[in-house]
Structure 1
């Protein structure tokens, strides 16, 4: 029997509320796992094709915004570790409209991602079993991930820990192997040096403007950094675990993204890196194959399969908590605030499951028409969410200063200047999306949906007032 539950003012469970069963290591791995998805393994090839070796600059610049976001979130959620993470914080400091829009547009963006990830996972299985109908692995993975999320949060955390660890280990091995190849060489293969950075039409073969265009693809790879904030309400010690996860992300993102791309473009000619969304054409596969690693494509196929399932698992977790938070605040039917005896928001998970079915179905049967609009909505919604998070951080800082409240145990260095710079960067990337082939549907889908959400909020307010 499900029961309604919520959180107290300090974020602690009240009655039958969410359980604080996520350990520090689980929170940390969920944070880094959320920021490392198939965008790094596959989408990086597209970014390299656009910008050439200068893609390193794009990844470094986008890392600044992602790290600023992680620290801003950590600063706020240790003070307000509420269910829904940044959604209730936006409502507290920016008002009901911001809290409503942010949570629903983020929910929609993540549901689209869930649908695309489960279809991608099915395609990866077809790499080994090409005769297998796509719907079969899609259904199996959907059922398994929903079951994991319907269980106690500690089981979800453990599953995600090990799946995310596979991605982390793969990237570490990749970077170490690449550096060894560059500096010392490998058995039967002399050291490559870093000549590929400039030998093929220079470091900026397509100009500085191409680096900026590549930022839309690169920033898409960093989306998911915000997931760490949602774990605060179920962390055993959010004041310790969330800041630690944010700090660890600094080193890891620098290692995984910037150093990883440096290795790729130092060894492989940038104009030979494929842009096809095919696991066998991933820059990671190409480097493993060049280094003489046997079955490189098969190994990387397994890695990107786990990456897709990990991203799907985390996104289901996040969307369920967003729905639960909206229901608690009266912005979704109260029925969705029900919790199972183990503290899981299973009713809220059902709504995300419905979205998963819809997004997966569209990606299979309307890939060339409707699904590009959904992907555009996903990017638009995620970037709007980042903008509202930064706006919330500015308001959070002003409020605490105005009321002479103690500073948060963790603080974003350089704020509010850092916050404003990151905010301007995200806004500029959003304004650039119409000029990129991959995400030119972002505004076409995102703006109408944003207007619908605003209208829905005012209709709900009027109904509540009446």
Structure 2
């Protein structure tokens, strides 16, 4: 049995120590919302609507169910073991070292590419005001700003992310109020109202297969809720913060996603939800409220910056964990005087460079291409979280966690089955075919690297 297989969680905690505990429960909630309310809702929803039509509400409801099951499983493990390696450390401890290695790198790569997805979206949003300026310039400018934010202390990061997410929540609440008023007061024959749910090809214009493909995009929208588990290592009171944050985040996300999509579909026919700009901008332009379209475009720009900020934070901490576990060079596990692993941060900006190149070469298809590639690692990680929870319940011998997943083992089994079905579905869609092509190749590379190099015992650090 290797050194890694004999690891106890006490040794894992000792190995990953040094990060500062500066995040409160409110900031933890906002970090999760910051990661999950971003491009997936404000721009990705256009793709989901195109696949499913009005029945996209069912797609997002399925996604919410999966997120609910995932957060229950993850909350229980995180309350028991609040470490920066999070689900990667859990997989390595309860399943085996290879699982921990693969999950950490799959998740890290997914969010490195997701950062590229967010900055690709930023280029789309900025065209609203500056159509003549190449998107690559905006990618460079905003990336430099957020890299600087992440190089500061975790307290500064938490404060900035709290402000970003607060603005997003306020804007979505305002959107719901204005949208509801507009639908309520719309005169007959205006083309606005519940008739749009059935007036353009029916409720299921693309059939149930379209609903299932829409679920793939909905999961991309919900991705980010699991970031609370990674941030738990820097929470002042992990048990209290994690429990409160998981519960608050899920309720808010489900309400925000379903209510905003329901209003969007009532105001603008689903056939007009193109991906050339955010459907939120189209809806606010349709209301005729002065400056509303420009205001909502600013908000979704902030949302993309917030999500990108959160993703840079998460990728940096996951690379830090990989280094401390002996799966990456030691320099990525070193901290600056502010408790930030700056070398890991710089490595995690690779996705920004990829996005800048892709945006320059393929400006019209940069966002869907980056999204399809980024999705694999994140969805694979969700699948492995469900599997890990089953092993956790079987092998955990410590005191009972303060939070327990209900409906065990049905919840974790159902989550794993649904995630497997979603991953398989990507192979049968033209838009997401690259998801599994890239994913399988990446897994083969990871397993080969582990077999050739990382099976040796962990060096003494």
Give TM-score, length-normalised by structure 2.
0.91
Equivalence for 1:242: 242
Equivalence for 1:161: 162
Tell me how far apart the structure 1 counterparts of residues 218 and 156 of structure 2 sit (CA, whole Å): 32
Gap change, CA 1:291 and 1:379, over 3 Å in 2: same
Tell me how far apart the structure 2 counterparts of residues 10 and 252 of structure 1 sit (CA, whole Å): 36
| 2:71 corresponds to 1:75 | no
Equivalence for 1:302: 298
Cα offset, 1:356, TM superposition:
2.8
Cα offset, 1:374, TM superposition:
4.9
Query: Which stretch shows the higher mean deviation, 370-379 or 298-307?
Result: 370-379
SS at match of 2:20: coil
| 2:274 corresponds to 1:278 | no
Equivalence for 1:27: 28
Tell me how far apart the structure 2 counterparts of residues 407 and 127 of structure 1 sit (CA, whole Å): 53
Equivalence for 2:320: 324
Cα offset, 1:186, TM superposition:
6.4
Is the Cα–Cα contact under 8 Å of residues 120 and 355 in structure 2 kept in the other structure?
no
Equivalence for 2:4: none
Is the Cα–Cα contact under 8 Å of residues 28 and 242 in structure 2 kept in the other structure?
yes
Is the Cα–Cα contact under 8 Å of residues 120 and 367 in structure 2 kept in the other structure?
no
Cα root mean square deviation, aligned: 2.7
Equivalence for 1:4: none
Is the Cα–Cα contact under 8 Å of residues 24 and 235 in structure 1 kept in the other structure?
yes
Listed as ranges, the gaps of 5+ residues in structure 2 are 1-7
Cα offset, 1:321, TM superposition:
0.4
Equivalence for 2:3: none
Equivalence for 1:444: 437
Is the Cα–Cα contact under 8 Å of residues 110 and 315 in structure 1 kept in the other structure?
yes
Describe the superposition over 1:125-165 as per-residue Cα deviations: whole angstroms up to 9, x where unpaired.
34323343433322221221111111100101111111122
Equivalence for 1:173: 174
Gap change, CA 1:190 and 1:128, over 3 Å in 2: closer
Among candidates 438, 442, 458, match of residue 451 of structure 2:
458
Tell me how far apart the structure 2 counterparts of residues 317 and 308 of structure 1 sit (CA, whole Å): 14
Listed as ranges, the gaps of 5+ residues in structure 1 are 1-6
Describe the superposition over 1:156-192 as per-residue Cα deviations: whole angstroms up to 9, x where unpaired.
1111111122221121111222223334x16999895
SS at match of 2:43: helix
Q: How does 1:373-384 map to 2 (within 5 A)?
A: 374-384=370-380
Tell me how far apart the structure 2 counterparts of residues 96 and 349 of structure 1 sit (CA, whole Å): 24
Tell me how far apart the structure 2 counterparts of residues 331 and 240 of structure 1 sit (CA, whole Å): 31
Equivalence for 1:18: 19
| 2:262 corresponds to 1:266 | no
Gap change, CA 1:122 and 1:52, over 3 Å in 2: closer
Among candidates 418, 440, 447, match of residue 411 of structure 2:
418
Is the Cα–Cα contact under 8 Å of residues 116 and 370 in structure 2 kept in the other structure?
no
Cα offset, 1:342, TM superposition:
1.1
Is the Cα–Cα contact under 8 Å of residues 16 and 339 in structure 1 kept in the other structure?
no
Gap change, CA 1:31 and 1:189, over 3 Å in 2: farther
Equivalence for 2:64: 63
Equivalence for 1:399: 395
Cα offset, 1:195, TM superposition:
2.5
Tell me how far apart the structure 2 counterparts of residues 308 and 452 of structure 1 sit (CA, whole Å): 31
Equivalence for 2:5: none
Gap change, CA 1:31 and 1:267, over 3 Å in 2: same
Is the Cα–Cα contact under 8 Å of residues 372 and 441 in structure 1 kept in the other structure?
no
Tell me how far apart the structure 2 counterparts of residues 305 and 340 of structure 1 sit (CA, whole Å): 30
Among candidates 281, 285, 290, match of residue 289 of structure 1:
285
Tell me how far apart the structure 2 counterparts of residues 348 and 151 of structure 1 sit (CA, whole Å): 14
Is the Cα–Cα contact under 8 Å of residues 116 and 360 in structure 1 kept in the other structure?
no
Gap change, CA 1:128 and 1:78, over 3 Å in 2: same
Gap change, CA 1:285 and 1:140, over 3 Å in 2: closer
Query: Which stretch shows the higher mean deviation, 152-161 or 353-362?
Result: 353-362
Tell me how far apart the structure 2 counterparts of residues 207 and 461 of structure 1 sit (CA, whole Å): 47
Tell me how far apart the structure 1 counterparts of residues 262 and 367 of structure 2 sit (CA, whole Å): 32
Number of aligned residues: 452
SS at match of 1:414: coil
